[in-house]
Chains A and B, each alone.
Chain A
Amino acid sequence: MQLQFTVNERPCHVDDVWEGESLLFVLRERVGLWGSKNACEQGECGSCTVLLDGAAVCSCLVAAGQVDGRHVVTVEGLGDRSDLHPVQQAFVDAGAVQCGFCTPGLVVATADLLRRNPSPSDAEIREALAGNLCRCTGYAQILDAVRLAAAVAR
């Protein structure tokens, strides 16, 4: 199967996609965007979170065929080292990164949360990010990062 979609505002064409492939697999192994992670490939950890037509989804649960003609934004599309997205900057500044395997998914999920709700309460943050597992931090500094990103944006 062939796929035509937009990734990080660039048109993307992929050939020979097998029907069983997930969007996550296509991004990582065919497009070379390794930022989206693969901690469970079962929709349980959020490490693969991307924006699909602006909505946060677990890319491991999206069949590749579903993205034909649609817009995908990955963590790489939010910002890069020379031009960090405010959420990325907040994660660095708050010490919210340890091993960093959860970070790309959390950055995307946080960007999505703050777009929908620019001033979330702690309870709203906890609920919104409940689907993003982190095994290293105990989440406290992640919560700090989200609050910081929200404050910076105000």
Chain B
Amino acid sequence: MTTALQPGDVRHRLGRGVDGGIGTDASRPDGTLKATGQFGFSSDLWTEGMIWGATVRSPHPHAAVVSVDVSAALGMPGVHCVLTHDDVPGRKTYGLESPDQPVLAIDEVRYQGEPVAVVAADDPETARRGAALVRVEYRLLPLVVDPVAALAPGAPEVHPGGNLVRHVKIRRGDPSARAEVVVSGDYEVGMQDQAFLGTESGMAVPAEDGGVDLYIATQWLHVDRDQVAASLGLPPEKVRLTLAGVGGAFGAREDVSLQIHLCLLALRTGRPVKMVYSRQESFFGHVHRHPARLHYTHGADREGRLVFVHADMVFDGGAYLSSSTAVVGNAATLGAGPYDVPNVSIDVRGAYTNNPPCGAMRGFGAVQACFAYESQMDKLAAALGMHPVDLRTRNAMTEGSSLPTGQVVDSAAPVAELLNRVRVAPMPPVASAGDAAGPTGDAAGPTGDAAGPTGDAAGPTGARSGATGLLPGGVANTTHGEGVVRGVGFAVGFKNVGYSEGFDDYSTARVLLTGAGGRLMASVHSAACEVGQGLVTVEAQIVRSELGVDEVVVETADTQVGSAGSTSASRQTYVTGGAVRAACQAVREELLARAAAVLGLEPDDPDLAEAELVGGKLLCRSGGTVVVADLVEGSPVERTVQWRHRPTEALHPDTGQGRAHVQYSFAAHRAIVDVDVELGLVHVVQIATAQDVGRAMNPAAVVGQIHGGTTQGIGLALMEEIQMADGKVRNPSFTDYLIPTMPDVPPMHVEVLELADPHAPYGLRGVGEAPTLSSTPAVVAAVRAATGRALARVPVRPEHIVFGDLTPQ
């Protein structure tokens, strides 16, 4: 699976002679604990004397809070306290980018599910019943739930000052450029949920100093701490956070959910307080992926060279800001796709509405744009009579390309290479000869090209896919192959890595090297949140490789060390990885200084600078050898280092020009689907994907990220949507909000490229998000190819397949 084209040239004096260093499939330090059920998740916290919290939420999407009567709840045996906004001692609002969201509703609720009061009681059932006894009188207010209508003059205002969250404009080249072939389209992306399996949960424990200790599943401990401290009216040092086991995140834990509520209850009652959201409450308890409407026009010359891209997008930010401004920025800066386009005009607006707040989800603004621009590329290819991959490779960005923002791409951008790899990837096993499939029945030939110049369908498949043994409808056996048509689709996308637009994006790591009885041990401590992706594995791998030490312990993340930034934006391996490497290098400096003293060398002796750490020994060129464990025995070396990536800069407010991003991550997908065109059911038969990761720090984990990200993209293409009606969520459960199950996910052919980014630690590229982008448009393109339907909206529903508009011929 791994194809190293140019392995990163980064083996700068790495330690040797240890197993489990970078580039290996080192196993997770928490793997056996998780497989035996002994790993402590945030929902498993327990301490003597703890009580339970529950939340009272608004049933209305927009209403004035006329009165809150807590007396019946307070009178219930087992209830310890009921808190409203009056009980928030500090700042009464919070928020990632701007504190606009009430900790508990003040005089108005702006979305269904907004917290109004919190209750603490002896046990979860009593807490729930107590919450049900809190009587809130509401007066309904006018609703605005359509983001386009919300931006129109005279719309009801969700917040004073209007409903426009941010308008980002990108302008490059000639706004009135004309082209020989022009295609346009209106696209729509539904509201996707992160649907991590471990719901919001945590425990707050009041401390003797008047502060509080919070054990919590989150993505960024320090940004939580600062928001909690502000609302409690406490100095940040009195609010100490420790990461509890995280059951997935995908962006949904970037915003505060129950953190402040837990601490308020604990400080009021003087007892440890635990809360665990139910699945239903979880749907109301975190932000979702922004639904978006996207209008695009692409123009090209007859040879298929892009002349212009015009885009106008509206993102529904819901009732509060969360990270909408950054999401909108990503959609704009990445909105033309990974292509060279001389003339670009992009407008992206975010809107406040009375829908649930939307914020971070894997792909963060790039997902919505990618669905639209890739759908457009297929439309353009059809208009030109070109193969969709040929059109894309003709326009593919390369290293040295300049983006619509003017930013020059200064490391590998293997867009064409990735597309070509998925194009020729092995095809899925097909039904045996003699099946009903007929002469064209096996769809695309061995190169994926037989689908015809426009990537069209290849006729009825008629037989079960050899890969999963399933047809559309799965084990429900809704067809024996009649009415089933196979289609092939391609897409490519790109995502920025790290925080952008001038954000001071850094991490902090502490590395401690100790020796006892000749045994060398290291520990690494950061506040970086392991959410399942495997950062803890990579941190240990870096320490092993840098310091040549076998035994490495990764300390639990907490706020006792400086901020690591967020586990978001595919950034932790890059940024915290960079910090861990830098801390190791600082430790190495100290080892060299000590070795110099032992060997009788000057500290700046070149022999030392060249020394290697091999199997716990420091070897100098000249033959001098020091056992590292002896150097640190009784006198450990500890170094804490703060590390930043290259600075980025803000976008120009009128033209969107600026070096906004630090790095890009590229992936391409080919999807092969079988569609029951009569019932509108889709079975994904195979996915082929290729991604450049710069350096695969842990190849098995990299592939796991690619599988998982691709699967979330399949979900968005075919099934995942929070369905809203008049501001209310219709499907807040796993019965009604479907995520892909094992039979829904096909075998994946994964190719990993390692084209080192010279600016990044070890040459690595953030991995987690890129696979989520192009899998959605690739799947939809394949369904279009099979059905001839236009399918301009995701998720695609059966009725769109059976009754939707046909693609104009």
Contact = CB atoms under 8 A, between A and B. Distances in A.
Interface in B27-77: 27-28, 30-41, 43-44, 46
A37 B43 CA distance: 9
Contacts of A18: 125
B534 A98 contact: yes
B748 interface: yes
A135 B362 CA distance: 12
Contact of A130 (B30, B37, B741): B741
B734 A42 contact: yes
A51 to B, nearest CB: 13
Interface in A34-50: 34-42, 44-45, 47
Contact of A98 (B27, B33, B41, B704): B704
Interface in A119-148: 121-123, 125-127, 129-143
A101 B247 contact: yes
Given A97-B31, A100-B30, A100-B34, A127 B743 contact: yes
A103 interface: yes
A98 to B, nearest CB: 4
A68 interface: no
B25 interface: yes
B279 A39 contact: yes
Contacts of B278: 41
Contact of B742 (A39, A99, A125): A125
Secondary structure of the B contact surface, majority rule: loop
A138 B745 CA distance: 7
A137 B733 contact: no
Contacts of B710: 138
Interface string B341-375: 00000000000000000000000000000000000
A55 B735 CA distance: 23
B425 interface: no
Contacts of A74: 37
B333 interface: no
Contacts of B246: 99
B198 A44 contact: no
A135 B711 CA distance: 8
Contact of B733 (A35, A44, A104, A140): A44
A92 B27 contact: yes
Nearest to B35: A88
A24 to B, nearest CB: 11
A137 B35 contact: no
Nearest to A32: B46
Contacts of B31: 91-92, 97, 100
A40 B38 CA distance: 20
Secondary structure of the A contact surface, majority rule: loop
Nearest to B750: A140
B23 to A, nearest CB: 15
A95 to B, nearest CB: 4
A107 B279 CA distance: 22
B490 interface: no
Given A37-B41, A38-B276, A99-B532, A141 B36 contact: no
B701 interface: yes
Nearest to A134: B197
Contact of A75 (B37, B469, B743, B748): B37
A81 interface: yes
A143 B742 contact: yes
A80 interface: yes
A56 interface: no
Interface in B532-580: 532-534
Nearest to A35: B37
Given A45-B197, A92-B31, A101-B41, A136 B469 contact: no
A69 interface: no
A99 B531 contact: yes
B470 interface: yes
Interface in B695-714: 700-701, 703-704, 707-712
Given A99-B196, A100-B39, A143-B742, A42 B279 contact: yes
A79 B34 CA distance: 12
A92 B33 CA distance: 10
B284 to A, nearest CB: 15
B34 A130 contact: no
Nearest to A140: B707
Contact of B707 (A75, A79, A125, A141): A141
Contacts of A91: 31, 35
B339 interface: no
Contacts of B733: 40, 42, 44
Nearest to B195: A135
Interface in B235-281: 245-250, 276, 278-279
Contacts of B735: 42, 44
A99 B198 contact: yes
Interface string A11-55: 000000010100000001100111111111110110100000000
Q: Which of A29, A93, A97 is the most central at the interface, judged by chain B CB atoms within 10 Å of its CB?
A: A97
Contact of A102 (B197, B531, B703, B711): B197
B739 interface: yes
B475 interface: yes
A139 B742 contact: yes
Given A37-B197, A140-B748, A45 B734 contact: yes
A76 interface: yes
A84 interface: yes
B657 interface: no
Interface in A45-90: 45, 47, 74-76, 78-81, 84, 88-89
B198 A95 contact: no
B747 interface: yes
Contacts of B745: 138-140
B741 A84 contact: no
A38 B46 CA distance: 15
A64 to B, nearest CB: 13
A36 B35 contact: no
B534 A93 contact: no
Contacts of A122: 468-469
Contacts of A95: 25, 27, 700-701, 703-704
B359 to A, nearest CB: 18
Contacts of B125: 18, 20
A41 B745 CA distance: 24
A47 B708 CA distance: 18
B725 to A, nearest CB: 22
Contacts of B27: 92-93, 95
Contacts of A76: 36-38
Q: Which of A35, A125, A143 is the most central at the interface, judged by chain B CB atoms within 10 Å of its CB?
A: A35
B776 interface: no
Contacts of A101: 41, 196-198, 247-248, 532
Nearest to B741: A130
Interface in B378-424: none
Given A84-B35, A100-B532, A132 B704 contact: no
A92 to B, nearest CB: 4
Contact of B533 (A36, A38, A98): A98
Contact of A133 (B34, B534, B701, B734): B734
A34 B40 contact: yes
A138 B748 contact: yes
CB-CB nearest 8 A-B residue pairs: A35-B37, A99-B532, A100-B34, A138-B707, A123-B469, A101-B247, A138-B711, A44-B734
15 contacts: A41-B278, A74-B37, A80-B38, A84-B32, A93-B27, A99-B198, A99-B248, A100-B33, A101-B41, A101-B247, A102-B197, A126-B742, A127-B743, A132-B741, A141-B707
Interface of B: 25, 27-28, 30-41, 43-44, 46, 124-125, 194-199, 245-250, 276, 278-279, 468-470, 475, 531-534, 700-701, 703-704, 707-712, 733-735, 739-743, 745, 747-748
Given A37-B247, A97-B28, A97-B34, 14 more contacts: A32-B46, A38-B43, A41-B279, A42-B735, A44-B733, A76-B38, A81-B36, A95-B700, A99-B531, A126-B470, A133-B734, A136-B708, A140-B748, A141-B703
